[in-house]
Structure 1
Amino acid sequence: MDHSAHHGSGMTDAERVGRDHGGHTAAGDASWGTAAQATAHCLTGCAFGEILGMVIGTALRWSNVPTMVLAIALAFVFGYSFTLYAVRKAGLGLKAAVRTALAADTVSIAVMELVDNAIIAMTPGAMDAHLSDGLFWGALLGGFAVAFVITTPVNKWMIRRGKGHAVVHAYH
């Protein structure tokens, strides 16, 4: 039996990833639960990187800008690495896995980081707070909460269009 039609013959790995097992595109299958799950996945990677960057920068007594740059860079690294791990484990080749992670996470991480860091920057005294200050952790965690609320509809919209986390749908 020829399974080429079922597996999307002639398609790249990245194009195949955006299809479910029935060969239909994942676009349009965007429930709020799916969007929240995608956002929570993104938030987990962002939080690891962001917290690590903030802790390193604060512990080393770096100024605000280098600390935020490190935190944002690490948020992207951790966010991408979580997706890379999942799609590599599912059997996707390294080059296709990198393309998939970039396609799945870039917008979500960027929105999350923009919102989270804006909240931290706008919270009076948060950028000057130390690791032992409740204000440091409150602003950081509050920023994550607001970023989650704002990023979830973005992910829902992208998944409905077959973009963002929809491209890893076949691997979860």
Structure 2
Amino acid sequence: MSQHEHHDMHDMAMTGRELTRNAVSATLHCLTGCAIGEVLGMVIGTALGMSDGSTIALAVVLAFFFGYALTVRPVMRAGLPLAGAIKVALAADTLSILTMEIVDNAVLLTVPGAMEAGLGSFLFWGSLAFALAVAFVVTVPVNRWLIGRGKGHAVVHEYH
């Protein structure tokens, strides 16, 4: 049995706790990239006095960039060229990052004053941390569903 076939069988047989563990791991990976981009975008947008919409747009673009980058780099180290690594990252991370960003920014927009709070404000940082935590909780089942079907982060496992 080839290594690829072994991974396919392993992913198909994954259920219950193992599937949930893998979904949590994939979501933590996604959260890392999203948090880097989200925090950087919010800090830049807030520091420059950008509008809420512009700040969120910048944060989302950076979240996708860093989220994909955290997948592309190890996949390239495994021997895939850049174009192939980008395709893997798009397949593995798009729905997860999208879910996380929609939830994260929706939560931020519902916290009164969060978007207007300054960088030195507990309200700013607390709201951002809370929004990312809620996004993580909502995204775990999405990743669990994807991995259970051999999609999402299951695509990356071939290159580890």
- TM-score, normalized by length of structure 1? 0.86
CA distance in 2, matches of 1:20, 1:58: 49
Residue 144 in structure 1 maps to residue 129 in structure 2? no
Query: How many percent identity over aligned positions?
Result: 55
2:27 to 27, 30, 39: 39
SS at match of 2:115: helix
Structure 1 gaps of 5+ residues are 8-18
Alignment RMSD: 1.6
* Bigger Rg, which one: 1
- Matched pairs, number: 157
User: Which residues in structure 2 correspond to 1:44-63 (within 5 Å)?
Assistant: 44-63=32-51
SS at match of 2:80: coil
Residue 113 in structure 1 maps to residue 90 in structure 2? no
Q: Indicate conservation of the 8 Å contact 2:103/2:135, yes or no.
A: yes
Counterpart of 1:53 in structure 2: which amino acid?
G
1:164 to 130, 134, 152: 152
What's the CA shift string for 1:129-149, capped at 9, x where partnerless?
110110000110001100111
User: Which residues in structure 2 correspond to 1:1-172 (within 5 Å)?
Assistant: 6=2, 19=4, 21=6, 24=9, 26-29=11-14, 31-172=19-160
CA distance in 2, matches of 1:21, 1:29: 12
Distance verdict in 2 for CA 1:25–1:119, change over 3 Å: same
SS at match of 1:128: coil
CA distance in 1, matches of 2:6, 2:79: 15
The structural deviation recorded for 1:127 is: 1.0
Structure 2 gaps of 5+ residues are none
What's the CA shift string for 1:108-158, capped at 9, x where partnerless?
000000000000000011011110110000110001100111100110000
Q: Please identify which structure carries the higher helix content.
A: 2
The structural deviation recorded for 1:92 is: 1.1
The structural deviation recorded for 1:23 is: 5.4
The structural deviation recorded for 1:171 is: 2.3
What's the CA shift string for 1:31-66, capped at 9, x where partnerless?
111100000000000000000000000001111111
